[in-house]
A and B are shown apart, each in its own frame.
Chain A
Amino acid sequence: MENYYSDNPSLKHHLNNPEMKRIVDLRENNYVEKDKFDFAPLDFEDAMDSYDKVVEIIGEICAETLAPAAEDTDHNGPQLINNEVHYAKGTALSLEKLNDAGLFGIALPRKYGGLNLSIVPYVMAAEIVSRADAAFANIWGLQDCAETILEFASEDQKERFLPRVCAGETMAMDLTEPDAGSDLQAVQLKATQNEKGEWYLNGVKRFITNGDADIALVLARSEEGTKDGRGLSLFIYDRKSNAVKVRRIENKLGIKGSPTCELVFENAPAELLGERRMGLIKYVMSLMNGARLGVGAQSVGICEAAYREALKYAHEREQFGKAIIQFPAVYEILSVMQAKTEASRSLLYETARMVDIYKCYNAISEERKLEPEERNIQRSYNKKADMLTPILKLMSSEYCNQNAYDAIQIFGGTGYMKDFPVERIYRDARITTIYEGTSQLQVVAAIRGVGNGQILSIIKEYEEREIPVEFSSLREKLIALTEQYVKSVATAQALENADAWDFLGRRMVEMAANIIMAYLLLFDAARNDYFVNILKVFMNMIEAQNMSSARFIENFKADELDYYRK
Chain B
Amino acid sequence: MSFRIVVLAKQVPDTRNVGKDAMKADGTVNRAALPAIFNPEDLNALELALEMKDKMKGAEVIIVTMGPSRAAEVIREAMYRGADAGYLVADRKLAGSDTLATSYALSLAVKKLFPCDVVVAGRQAIDGDTAQVGPQTAEKLNIPQITYAEELLDISEDGVTIKRRLERGTEVVKSAFPVLVTVHSSAPECRPRNAKLTMKYKHAKTVSEFQNDDSDYIAMRNIRPYLCISEWTAANLNADDNLLGLSGSPTKVKEIENVVLTHKDASVLSSSDDDINLLMKELIASHVIG
Contact = CB atoms under 8 A, between A and B. Distances in A.
Interface of A: 38-43, 49-50, 53-54, 57, 60-61, 97, 100-103, 106, 115
Interface of B: 191-200, 202, 216-217, 220, 224
Main secondary structure, interface of B, reads helix
Contacts of B202: 49-50, 53
A40 B202 CA distance: 11
A38 B200 contact: yes
Contacts of A40: 199
Main secondary structure, interface of A, reads loop
B192 A42 contact: no
Contact of A102 (B194, B217, B224): B194
Nearest to B194: A102
A60 B225 CA distance: 30
B192 A115 contact: no
Given A49-B202, A50-B202, A39 B216 contact: no
A57 B192 contact: yes
Contacts of A57: 192-193, 195, 198
Contacts of A41: 199
B198 A54 contact: yes
A39 B196 contact: yes
A38 B220 CA distance: 10
A115 B220 contact: no
A210 to B, nearest CB: 22
A38 B196 CA distance: 9
B193 A101 contact: yes
B195 A103 contact: yes
A115 B196 contact: yes
Contact of A42 (B194, B195, B216): B216
A42 B220 contact: yes
Contact of B199 (A43, A50, A97, A100): A50
A97 B81 CA distance: 12
A208 B57 CA distance: 41
A50 B193 CA distance: 13
Most chain-A CB neighbours within 10 Å: which of B192, B194, B197?
A: B192
Contacts of B216: 42-43
A102 B195 contact: yes
Contacts of A101: 191-195
A40 B200 CA distance: 8
28 contacts: A38-B200, A38-B224, A39-B197, A39-B199, A40-B199, A41-B199, A42-B216, A42-B217, A42-B220, A49-B202, A50-B198, A50-B199, A50-B202, A53-B198, A54-B195, A54-B198, A54-B199, A57-B193, A57-B195, A60-B193, A97-B192, A100-B192, A101-B191, A101-B192, A101-B194, A101-B195, A103-B195, A106-B195
A42 B192 CA distance: 25
